[in-house]
Amino acid sequence: MWSRSEWIVWKAVWYNFGYSYSAANKNMVVNWEEKTLYDYLQNPKKYIPGTKMVFPGLKKPQDRADLISYLKQSTAS
């Protein structure tokens, strides 16, 4: 059984295969690191106005922190 963070990441990866990004996303210049991802995940639509994504984000600070720490762990070499 997948954890909640694993599920979120895989769903995001799956949707983005061969994906055509909105102009809003392409034109957005962001240095993606912990803080920017944390803010983005709180409210993707507010962070990138005009995004096509319906996912409303993770409102609970703990959920965002959990997801980011999961990403850090799973991408550490």
Alpha carbon distance 58, 60 (integer Å): 6
Of 53 and 65, nearer to ligand HEM (C-beta) is: 53
Candidates 55, 59, 69, 74; binder of ligand HEM (CB under 6 A) is 55
Alpha carbon distance 33, 37 (integer Å): 6
Candidates 1, 29, 54, 76; binder of ligand HEM (CB under 6 A) is 54
- Judged by CB under 6 A, how many residues of this single chain contact ligand HEM? 14
Burial 31-45 (b: 16+ CB within 10 A, else e): eeeeeebeebbbebe
* Distance in Å, CB of 60 to ligand HEM, minimum: 14
